[in-house]
Amino acid sequence: MIFVAGAPLSTDSSSSCSQGHDILTDLMKHPVLVSASSSLNDVAERKFSVSKDSSSGISRHNRWVYIFQREYATVDPALVDVVGTDEATTCVGLVIRNQNSGMTSVAHLDSPDVVDIGLAQMLAFVVNQSSDAMLDVHLIGGFDDASPEVRPRSFLFFDFHRDSESFRG
């Protein structure tokens, strides 16, 4: 089940074959998501860096995990302060966070070929099989390339929706 602004997303689709496409279409037209997307597009890009000799409040004891392309990591918030990736233009960054435990998995996916195994592994580490976990899911990047050589960026959504069915209790 997909929730948007705390309410379940309803679709009119009864065919399982077209369900993924219909859900994606409904999500892309949902007023809350359209508004959030527009707001995000209006925010100016900010770049920052911290030098090694900077004393701007960053401690040597901070624990950071950086995810490179074709990598993922699942982290326990008690052990890691910051986890992230960058430069996901045509790639897709995927973040899955268990609301109960705080366990968070971040991936930098560059091909539909790595989604199946990567998503299954990410969910296995984030979802406690004995509970009905509520997950926050965020997609980042996925530049909309008009080239016919590039598979549509929605490949990740279809695979996630399909795989999430097997994790329901």
Task: Say if 90 falls within a structural domain.
Answer: yes
Task: Say if 13 falls within a structural domain.
Answer: no
pLDDT greater than 50 at residue 165: no
**Tens digits of residue pLDDT in 113-141:** 777 777 788 888 888 765 677 888 888 87
Give the pLDDT band (50/70/90) at residue 83. confident
pLDDT at 21: 62
Q: What is the DSSP letter of 93?
A: E
Task: Say if 41 falls within a structural domain.
Answer: no
Contact 85, 108 (CB under 8 A): yes
For residue 77, give its domain range: 64-165
Give the pLDDT band (50/70/90) at residue 36. confident
**Tens digits of residue pLDDT in 97-120:** 898 889 999 988 887 777 777 778
Task: Say if 125 falls within a structural domain.
Answer: yes
Rg (CA), the chain: 17
Residues 32 and 7: their CA atoms lie apart, in Å, by 11
Residues 128 and 57: their CA atoms lie apart, in Å, by 35
Task: Say if 99 falls within a structural domain.
Answer: yes
How many structural domains is the chain composed of? 1
Sign of the dihedral through C-alpha 108, 112, 113, 119: positive
Task: Say if 39 falls within a structural domain.
Answer: no
